[in-house]
Structures are given as structure tokens and as C-alpha cells.
Structure 1
Amino acid sequence: MPARTVQCAALALRRGVVEGGGVKNHRLILLAAIACILFAAPLAQAEFGWLNDYKKAQQEAKANNKFLLLDFTGSDWCFWCKKFEAEILSQSQFKDYAREKLVLLEVDFPRAKAQSPELRKQNEELAQQYQIMGFPTIVVLNGDGQKLWQYDGYFPDGAAAFIAELEKLPKG
């Protein structure tokens, strides 16, 4: 069982949400753990700082003199997107770099996850604007919205090599 799930279940026990012992109580603990799993993934992404509002992300990039990294993804169905997320975007080395140098925007095209019509429209417009032909695709903009780099497909060389590519971009 993942550590986060165990922590959530332990917290539920300590707070008296569920009591230990008995089959019925074990089911409640399991339900509490499942709820923690379902709600932890979006929170982890939000904690790290991924945005989904393009205008807000653009303003933040400009105000903080950072690059805006757009991750065009099919987060709940695209094998290569999931692999890219696990091997690069979720790595502490990338996260540390991103905190200093990037504003992160997820441009998601899910099949099972719900999205607001406004978010779906924004994402479709961005995909058209940057001529996205497949997933994953990374686009990096400067604070003024000028495209500096685009990488189509899975990046196989790991977080350090990906960061090295970003470091080659012209500083503005």
C-alpha cells in the first residue's frame, strides 16, 4: 500500500473517523484510504504548481521573468505521456529546476476525466495555435508569449538531459 494511503488511513483512525477492529471498521478504513488516493493525485499536482489557466500562467511567467512550459498531454490514456510524466516531470531534479525557472501549464486532453467546457475550448485553441499533432508535446514560451522551443513525442534521455535542453534556451 502506498505510504500516502497508509498516512491517510492512520489519520482517519487518530481523528476518530473510523475505529479499529471488526470487519465493518476495516471496510471503513479501506474506504477512507481509497478516498485519500482519489483526492491525493490532483492535490499533489496542484501543490507542485501546475496550472491549467493559460492567461494566468502567461501573466505569472511575465511577472516573474520565467519561461512558460506547456505540457500537451492525454493524462489518463496516453502511454508515452504517462511515461514522460513519471520519468521527467515527476522527478525531484525537474521539480527543483521548475520551481526556479518555469511556470508550468498542463494542456490536457483526457478521455475519462471531466473538464469544464471553457478549459476544453482553451486547450483546443492552444493545440491549434501551436499545431500540436500528437502527445506528449512540450512547448516553451518566454514571458511575452514567443515560442522558444517545441519537442514532439516522448523524451527518452531523462530529467537531466531535458533540463539541459531547457538551459540552452535564450534568456530574456
Structure 2
Amino acid sequence: MKSTFKLLLICLLFAAPSIQAQELKWYTNMEEASTIAVKKKKPLMLFFTGSDWCGWCIKLQKEVFQTPEFKSWAAKNVILVELDFPRRKTLDENTKTQNMNLQKLFNVRGYPTVWIVDVDKKNTANLERLGSTGYVAGGPAAWITGAEQIIANKKK
């Protein structure tokens, strides 16, 4: 009985880091996300969404953003920012204003829209647009392929 308990405990200890590694941090504060992006030398992935009403946004979340493939890719390649425009959920005024200003800046006219941008190291308010995408049929592999092409713009 004791050896079974020890074995179970050892398995849990080794499994815990991999379980935690699969959870991603979605920032909602652009200033905070930009600071992290500069520190980690990664671009921002801005996800403009109507989280509680937009069918295509919900579909993108389920088919791509909630998959292990995307989580692994995102952890290595981008800092995630959710810019939400909900109908039922209430956002604080600062977040609402920030999201509206970014929607105007990036000329977002539909949801979901995903912009991948690079942050200026000297002035985190300056964003270099690398490219944008939205829902892509074909699951995480197809979506990640498109995102990789956008990030490659940074290296040109």
C-alpha cells in the first residue's frame, strides 16, 4: 500500500509542471503585456473578440486557442492579449476605453480579428504591425502556419 502511494505521489509531482505549462496567460492590460513582450523579446498577439456573443470567436477559441498545440506554440512565440467587446459581461471603464482605442487604431471592423505586433523597446506605446488574421478553418495546425508567416515578417 505504501509503495502504491509513493508511486502515485511521484507521478503527480512529475505531471504537475506539465499541467501548469499548458495554462496560458491572456493579458487584458496592454501596458502590462507590452512590458512583458519587451522583456521576453516576443511579439504581442492581440485577440479582438466578442467573447460572449461572437460565434466565430467562440469557434476560434475552441478549435485553436484551447488546444495543446496552440498553447505550446503561444508559450514559445507570443504574449497573448485579449481585447474583449462583450455584450453581457461588464468591463471596467479603463479596459473598455483601452479596447475601443485599440480597435480604432487597428481599424478592426469584425470579430474575431487577431493582430500580431512588435513592441518598440524604447517606447512600449509604439507598435509595429506585422500582420493580421482571424478564424482559419483547419484547426490549430492551419492557424499556427498562418501566424508563423506573420511573425516571419518581423525577421525581414
Q: For the superposition of Structure 1 and Structure 2, which TM-score range results when normalised by the shorter chain?
A: 0.7 to 0.9
- What is the distance in 2 between the residues matched to 1:124 and 1:68? 17
Structure 2 counterpart of 1:156, one-letter code: A
Q: CA deviation at 1:166?
A: 1.9
Unaligned runs of 5+ residues in structure 1 are 1-46
Q: CA deviation at 1:87?
A: 0.3
- What is the distance in 1 between the residues matched to 2:106 and 2:139? 24
- What is the distance in 2 between the residues matched to 1:69 and 1:139? 6
Q: Residue 67 of structure 2 is aligned with which of 70, 74, 91?
A: 91
Provide the residue aligned with 2:136 in structure 1.
155
- Indicate the RMSD between aligned Cα atoms, in angstroms: 1.5
Normalising by structure 2, we get a TM-score of 0.76
- What is the distance in 1 between the residues matched to 2:119 and 2:140? 23
Structure 2 counterpart of 1:120, one-letter code: K
Alignment of 1:10-159 (within 5 A): 47-144=23-120, 145-151=127-133, 153-159=134-140
Q: CA deviation at 1:158?
A: 1.4
Q: CA deviation at 1:112?
A: 0.5
Q: CA deviation at 1:163?
A: 1.1
Are residues 1:164 and 2:140 paired?
no
Following superposition, which runs of at least 4 residues in structure 1 exceed 6 angstroms of deviation?
A: none
Unaligned runs of 5+ residues in structure 2 are 1-22, 121-126
* Greater Cα radius of gyration, structure 1 or 2: 1
Aligned length: 126
State the identity %: 35
Deviations 1:2-28 (A, max 9, x none): xxxxxxxxxxxxxxxxxxxxxxxxxxx
Q: CA deviation at 1:79?
A: 0.5
Which structure has more relative contact order (CA 8 Å, sep 6+)? It is 2
Describe the SS at the equivalent of 1:146: strand
- What is the distance in 1 between the residues matched to 2:104 and 2:58? 22
Describe the SS at the equivalent of 1:150: strand
